[in-house]
Structure 1
Amino acid sequence: MATRQQRQITETPTEARQAEPGPSVLALLTVSTGLAILILGVVWFVFFRT
């Protein structure tokens, strides 16, 4: 358990690493990758289509 020592919160290394990337991180990665592909496709279609 986190303790307070001299006005600072002290945690063990295990407690400090408890955050996990959840489904929201996966959704953000998927959406941002999809948007990047879409934008690159539009740029290619507008500027490099022959």
Structure 2
Amino acid sequence: MATRRRGQIVETPTEARQAEPGPSVLALLSVSTGLAILILGVIWFVFFRV
């Protein structure tokens, strides 16, 4: 657990490395997946449509 010594927050190396992924991670995953599906759909439509 983080403690405060002489006005500074002191954490162990494990605590300092931990982070919580915010909503930006979900947004990035959603946008990149959507773009990949869109690009693959365009490629299929242009090259494989008979």
Unmatched segments (≥5 aa) in structure 2:
1-9
CA distance, structure 1, for counterparts of residue 48 and residue 13 of structure 2: 55
Equivalent pairs, count: 41
Q: Write out aligned runs for 1:1-50 (5 A).
A: 1-2=10-11, 11-17=12-18, 19-50=19-50
Task: Report the Cα offset of residue 22 of structure 1.
Answer: 0.6
- Give ranges in structure 1 of 5+ residues lacking alignment: 3-10
Pairwise CA RMSD: 1.3
Alpha-carbon separation, structure 2, partners of 1:12 and 1:35: 37
TM-superposed deviation, 1:16:
2.2
